[in-house]
Amino acid sequence: MNMMKHFLDIHTTDAAELRHMIDTGLAMKRARGGRPKGAPDDDQPLKGHMVALIFEKPSTRTRVSFDVGVRQMGGETMVLSGKEMQLGHGETIADTARVLSRYVDLIMIRTFEEQTLLEMAEHATVPVINGLTNRTHPCQIMADVMTYEEHRGPIKDRKVVWSGDGNNVFASFAHAAGQFGFDLTFSGPETLNPEAACLDFAAAKGRPVTIERDPFKAMAGADLVVTDTWVSMHDPESAKERRHNQLRAYQVNEHLMSLAKPDSLFMHCLPAHRNDEVTSAVMDGPHSVIFDEAENRLHAQKAVMRWCLGR
């Protein structure tokens, strides 16, 4: 029986299966028991499997964590840059998907338009994983949920506050609020509001996102404070100055963190622009779990890949 499944987004994946992936990722992390990164897992579910990692945008964490994760599970990878593929020179996404499916067992793609991901998934006969689009970043938020739970227990009913741009990473947080059942507050300027669709999803799942323009008020009772870059990879460079002016009031600094719960955590998907969206004092301070969060990309995605392959 073909058990293959795509991992395209948090809102399009069954909530119980998402929960299972988080628990599997944590169990796999524990089972490694801190062995060297290059050492194989005891379990080798990707043995004999080839994975294509396609990047149309830059990446450090996604690229390295997928590559290492596949190898730990016994598989092999090839990293492909969109520009160097025929995909960047006129070959259709559908044909690319059909061809790659003859060579590899799994495809991870980081791209611009969501439509590229969806077309890849529609025409591939192997699982496709979303490694970030202009609209969402589901693998990141799987790692974030895992990181919160590793430090503080169940995220259900916790208060998560996002301070900054209503971007792709926020959208996946809104999806996760609906699927994992936590309360999410968006604090940012109206001009940089999140897309309505992700807010509608959370609301339909009984977790309407609170919008609080005042960042100081937003922090009250926060269990987790999150921010991200003020200018994403798909945003035009020309928008930088205006975005900085609009978002300056939402910088996560020690004063803002002091308004959250005393045992609150701070997360950022990275890369961060130190002293823009977050100060170094917060990034390196007692609330920050940013490097555990980065590490957990590896463990969460290993669970996602297993799920995709039905293993």
Positions touching ligand CP (CB under 6 A) are 59-62, 132, 140, 269-271
The one catalytic residue among 11, 49, 61, 110: 110
**Under the criterion CB under 6 A, does residue 228 sit at the interface with ligand NVA?**
yes
Q: Where are the beta strands (DSSP E) in the chain?
A: 50-55, 76-81, 106-110, 128-130, 159-163, 183-187, 210-211, 224-227, 265-268
- Among candidate residues 307, 294, 310, the one with its CA nearest the CA of residue 68: 294
For residue 269 the two structure tokens come to 């998907």
Q: Which helix (H) or strand (E) holds 69?
A: helix 61-72
d(CA 184, CA 144): 14
Residue closer to ligand NVA (CB basis): 65 or 72: 65
**Under the criterion CB under 6 A, does residue 232 sit at the interface with ligand NVA?**
yes
d(CA 165, CA 240): 12
| 269 carries an active-site annotation | yes
Residue closer to ligand CP (CB basis): 93 or 132: 132
For residue 76 the two structure tokens come to 């092999």
Residue closer to ligand NVA (CB basis): 69 or 75: 69
CB of 286 to ligand NVA, least distance (A): 24
| 41 carries an active-site annotation | no
| 297 carries an active-site annotation | yes
Rg of the chain's alpha carbons, rounded to an integer?
19
* Partner residues linked to 160 by β-bridges: 184, 224
**Under the criterion CB under 6 A, does residue 111 sit at the interface with ligand NVA?**
no
CB of 24 to ligand NVA, least distance (A): 23
Interface with ligand NVA by CB under 6 A: which range of 79-87, 113-121, 164-172, 258-266?
Answer: 164-172
**Under the criterion CB under 6 A, does residue 269 sit at the interface with ligand NVA?**
yes
Binding site for ligand NVA (CB under 6 A): 132, 167-169, 228-229, 232-233, 269
Catalytic residue set: 110, 137, 140, 228, 269, 297
